[in-house]
Structure 1
Amino acid sequence: MSDDPNKVVTPAKLKKRFRILLGVSLALNLMVIGAVVGVISKGPGRQGGGPGMRETAFPYVGAFDRADKRAMRQEMRARLSYRSEARAAHQASYRAFLELLRAETFDAAAASSVMSAQFERAQRLQTIGRELSIQRISDMSVEKRAAYADRLEYRLDNPKKRGKRKDR
C-alpha cells in the first residue's frame, strides 16, 4: 500500500529529497575537485614531465652529511630573517589570486603579476640555497668532496633509498 500511485508527495518530502540529492552531488563534486587538485599538486609521475625544483635539488641537498645540512639550514635562516613576512606575503598573494578567479571578468594580467611575485620569492630562496651549496662544496677538502660525490651518486642511482631518518 505504500506504493500507491495516487499518493500525494508533500513539499516537505520533496524538500528533503532535494537536500539529500544536493548533498550527494556536492560530495561527488568535491571528490572530483580534490582528485584533480591532488594530481596537479603531486606533479608529473615517472611516465613523463620534467622534474620540479624539489626533485632537482633533493639529491644535492640530501648528499650533504648531517653536520653540513644543519649548518646550511642555520645559514639559510640567518639570510632569510624575514621568513614570517615572506610567508604572510605568500598567503596574501594566494588570497589576491582567489579574488581574481572569483571576479566577474578575469584579469589575466593581474593574475600573471600575482604569480610572478610568488615565483620571484621562491626563486630568491632557491638562489640562496644554490649559493650556500656551492660555497659549502668549495670549502670541502678533496676527500670530503669525493665522499660527497659518492653519496650524491648513490642517491641518483637509488632514489628510493634515502637512508635512515637519524642520518638525514
Structure 2
Amino acid sequence: MSDPKIEASKPAKPSKRFRILLGVSLALNLLVVGAVVGAIAKGGSSNRGPSGMRDAALPYVGAFERDDKRAMQQQMRARLPKRKDIRAALDKGYREFVEVVRAEPFDAAKAAKIMEEQFERAGQFQKVGREVSIERISEMSVEKRAAYADRLEYRLDNPRKHGKRKER
C-alpha cells in the first residue's frame, strides 16, 4: 500500500474537465488580445479607412443577387493572388513579427512596417472588391440597378432583418 503522507505531498493532477476549461479560457484570452491589437493597428493610419471597413461593405455586397455575388467572387479570384500565396505571405509576416517582438531591443518601426504590409494586402482585397462591385453595377440595366437600390435601401432601413431576408 502507498504511504498516505507521500500521497498527500503530491500535487493532484487536474481533471480533464479543468484542463479543457483552461484551454478554452486561454483561447478566449488570445482572441481578446488579438482583437485589441487589431483595433490599435487599424486606428494608426488615416489611409487605411475607417474602422469597421467590413461592416461598411456588408450592405453593398448583401444587396447583390446571388448570381451576381458568385460572378463577382470569380472576378476577384482572377484578379487577386492565390489564397495559398496570401496565406503564406500572412504567415511569413506573423513569424517576422514574433521575431521582432522577441528581439532586444524592440524595433517598433520594423514591427509597424510588418503590420502595415499586412494591412496593405487586406486593402488590396478591398480595393478589388470595390472595383468589381462598381463594374457590376455599371453593367446593370436601369431596372436591375433600381432593384439593387431597393434591396440596399431595405438593408439600410432594416439592419437587423437583412440576414433573415431571402435574396430576390
TM-score category (smaller protein): 0.7 to 0.9
SS in 1 for 2:116: helix
**What residue number does 1:52 align with?**
52
**What residue number does 1:118 align with?**
118
TM-score w.r.t. length of structure 1: 0.72
| % same residue | 56
Residue identity matched to 1:151: R
- Aligned CA distance change for structure 1 residues 167 and 150 (closer, same or farther; 3 Å): closer
For 1:134 and 1:115, locate their aligned partners in 2 and report how far apart those are by CA, in whole Å.
29
**What residue number does 1:16 align with?**
11
**What residue number does 1:132 align with?**
132
Alignment of 1:34-113 (within 5 A): 34-35=28-29, 37-38=31-32, 41=35, 51-113=51-113
Which entry has the higher C-alpha Rg, 1 or 2? 1
TM-score w.r.t. length of structure 2: 0.72
RMSD: 3.5
Residue identity matched to 2:65: D
For 1:104 and 1:142, locate their aligned partners in 2 and report how far apart those are by CA, in whole Å.
61
Structure 2, unmatched stretches of 5+, are: 40-49
For 2:8 and 2:106, locate their aligned partners in 1 and report how far apart those are by CA, in whole Å.
41
For 1:39 and 1:161, locate their aligned partners in 2 and report how far apart those are by CA, in whole Å.
31
Work out which structure has the larger RCO, using CA pairs closer than 8 Å and 6 or more positions apart in sequence: 1
Structure 1, unmatched stretches of 5+, are: 1-8, 45-49
| Offset, 1:140 | 1.1
